Amino acid sequence: MAKLKLGVLISGRGSNLGALIAACRKADFPAEIRLVISNAADAPGLDHAARAGIATAVVDHRGFADRESFDSDIDAALAGAAVDLVCLAGFMRILGPDFVTRWRNRVINIHPSLLPAFKGLNVHERVLDAGALITGCTVHYVRPEMDAGPILAQAAVPVLPGDTAESLSRRVLKAEHRIYPAAVRLIAEGRARVSGGRVTFRRAATATGSLINPPAG
């Protein structure tokens, strides 16, 4: 069976890109990364991709008069690489509604909270300020609204006494690295699809010890 072809969009260090690269190296993983795009030429994730032998491209948003033109170049690069699924991995630009509509149900994102709680930026600081006892991360399909869209996978992470934004961020990031490849696998194997504004799964899912829902296996 042909592998699902991924395009990964990054803006910085690309730690979730690294998790996807590691997953794609496994013989039984049903996806491969065809292209990594960054809006920043100095993004460390580009070097990580190049070392892994993955094609890279820079589409600098500062060189465009409007978001639509920027999105159009992103779209052309992804189409040129025959990408099936776009994975946003720390991509710090909001894609316009025309792009999201064109790629509907073919763009996913990972967010460092249990959506729909704590959308936006400075998530870990806001989690601590709110006194939340549980946080986590979410993989979701992208919609024109920020941090919205059908939820594909989540992992819960406890907030511990004495946590700082930095310590909490590190633990949430470890959970992100587990569930992003798991979510891609669900799509690649045809086990997840969007129906009626929600994700439905071909096989019944129950919570596991890692609190990934649905389970990674």
> How do residues 79-120 score in pLDDT, each as one tens digit?
999 999 999 999 999 999 999 999 999 999 999 999 999 999
Is residue 156 within 8 Å of 137, Cβ to Cβ?
Answer: no
Q: Which residues contact 54 (CB under 8 A, 6 or more apart)?
A: 21, 33, 34, 35, 36
Superfamily, domain 109-217: Formyl transferase, N-terminal domain (3.40.50.170)
pLDDT (mean) for 156-165: 98
DSSP letter at 33 equals E
pLDDT (mean) for 144-159: 96
Would 1-103 and 109-217 be classified into the same CATH topology?
A: yes
* pLDDT for res 20: 98
% of the chain exceeding 70 in pLDDT: 93
Superfamily, domain 1-103: Formyl transferase, N-terminal domain (3.40.50.170)
pLDDT (mean) for 200-213: 55
Lookup: tokens for 6 = 């991924």
Strands 85-88 and 56-58, how do they pair?
A: unpaired
Domain boundaries, the chain: 1-103, 109-217
DSSP E strand boundaries for the chain: 4-10, 31-38, 56-58, 85-88, 107-111, 134-141, 151-158, 192-195, 198-201
% of the chain exceeding 90 in pLDDT: 92
Q: How confident is the model at residue 45 (pLDDT cuts 50, 70, 90)?
A: very high
* pLDDT for res 204: 47
pTM of the model: 0.93
Nearest Cα to Cα of residue 215 among 140, 158, 155, 157: 155
Instruction: Let me know how long the chain is.
Output: 217
* pLDDT for res 209: 35
The rounded distance, in Å, linking the Cα atoms of 34 and 20 is 12
Q: What does the mean pLDDT of the chain come to?
A: 93
Q: In what order do the strands lie in the sheet with 134-141?
A: 56-58, 31-38, 4-10, 85-88, 107-111, 134-141, 151-158
pLDDT (mean) for 31-55: 98
Please identify every residue annotated as catalytic.
111
140: exposed, middle or buried (C-beta count within 10 Å: 0-12, 13-18, 19+)? buried
Q: How confident is the model at residue 202 (pLDDT cuts 50, 70, 90)?
A: confident
* pLDDT for res 78: 98
pLDDT of 33 higher than 90? yes
* pLDDT for res 1: 76
